[in-house]
Structure 1
């Protein structure tokens, strides 16, 4: 199975401080489903930032979509980011746009016509339980509703790679299960999914997913932690 992500001796520090991530050597298989776990402060969000190209590594090599990106020019990165869906922990919705227009953004950026946007966005909002909130703007939505809009926006364009940071932290168990089913359906269509979470019940409910554990900025050998055979993860 080919890799969609490859990290080779990657380290990350902010400013002149100590490394928050160190010696990361792993690959993620195209079409895989991964959960990233670890204690608070382990560096999970920093690792996700490297995955969705919001941060450059301090050292080491990152390949994404078969391209070397560690030293790629900044003006080349937006084209790669359009192939990635991101669910941010702080949502990052555009406050003056309606829920509908926030979800529609990736399709509009991809050049879809309004006729091509309308149906998929309405369907996605219905799936996340927000059909009747399509015209609402983020400041009028609860935290859980904003989370669902953010998830709908991240998956609407069926990205090649989906990166989600605690995507079910603001919703109840029933909605968490529904959203997890959405991620699973997207994965079955070929999207590689990486979900950072503390929710072990979420992990236990996902067959075929693999577990990556980050501790102290270092990714441990997953073979003792995986619920399924480590066929889709390779650690150097």
Structure 2
């Protein structure tokens, strides 16, 4: 995090794949710690591409990105994993490890971070209970429904209390009641200081998180209906 409280800053960032036209153009914005952001836009607007930049899966074609006070563009590749561990990601396609149980998929970030095995059971069981999967703890992904896989993916993303959570359509495969429960989980993390960025096409969700800020993508460019791109940081409690 920088001295002035910024967690991420994009400066005139553009992204193109191969020789195609830019899919993202002239993105300049700041994300602050402890804020809850919704990223919206029509299909094809560039939401997933922007998320890939945010969790360091993609380098921009131009511009500058600073994350947690570090120049993410010039950072040596060997230091990228440590930076990525500060970011929890909920992928649209889940990306669960097929040969691992729900428990072991969720425990994976803690193991990578070096937590002792004796310290895993409590937190992992608690988070799986929270997402309604206490009775599926030993199940492998192939035996889970799409909605259950989504919930395991969300549990895995939040188990290590990341500094930033990035979620790509996290409620797309669950029923409305579970969708609201998952949003409450994101809100709880947010109140504890985690910056949350949720990409969604579900406009009803935007009204259910009162203090959220909205970033709207239209053909690769951002608009700012709630002041998200310039909003000052709030004091965390």
TM-score, L = length of structure 2: 0.94
CA deviation profile, 1:34-53 (whole Å, cap 9, x unmatched): 00000000000000000000
Contact 2:29 2:229 in 1 (8 A): no
1:136 aligned to which of 120, 132, 139: 139
Report the 3-state secondary structure (helix = DSSP H, G, I; strand = E; otherwise coil) of the residue aligned with 1:56.
coil
Q: Structure 1 residue 195: deviation in Å?
A: 0.2
User: Unmatched 5+ residue regions in structure 1?
Assistant: none
1:26-175 alignment, distance < 5 Å? 26-175=29-178
Q: Structure 1 residue 136: deviation in Å?
A: 0.3
How many angstroms apart in 2 are the aligned matches of 1:129 and 1:169?
16
Contact 2:42 2:218 in 1 (8 A): yes
Q: Which runs of 4+ in 1 moved over 3 A?
A: 227-230
TM-score, L = length of structure 1: 0.95
Contact 1:21 1:218 in 2 (8 A): yes
How many angstroms apart in 2 are the aligned matches of 1:56 and 1:227?
26
User: Unmatched 5+ residue regions in structure 2?
Assistant: none
Contact 1:6 1:26 in 2 (8 A): yes
Contact 2:13 2:64 in 1 (8 A): yes
Pairwise CA RMSD of aligned residues? Answer: 1.5
Contact 2:31 2:229 in 1 (8 A): no
The number of aligned residues is 230
Contact 2:35 2:190 in 1 (8 A): yes
Confirm whether residue 5 of structure 1 aligns to residue 8 of structure 2: yes
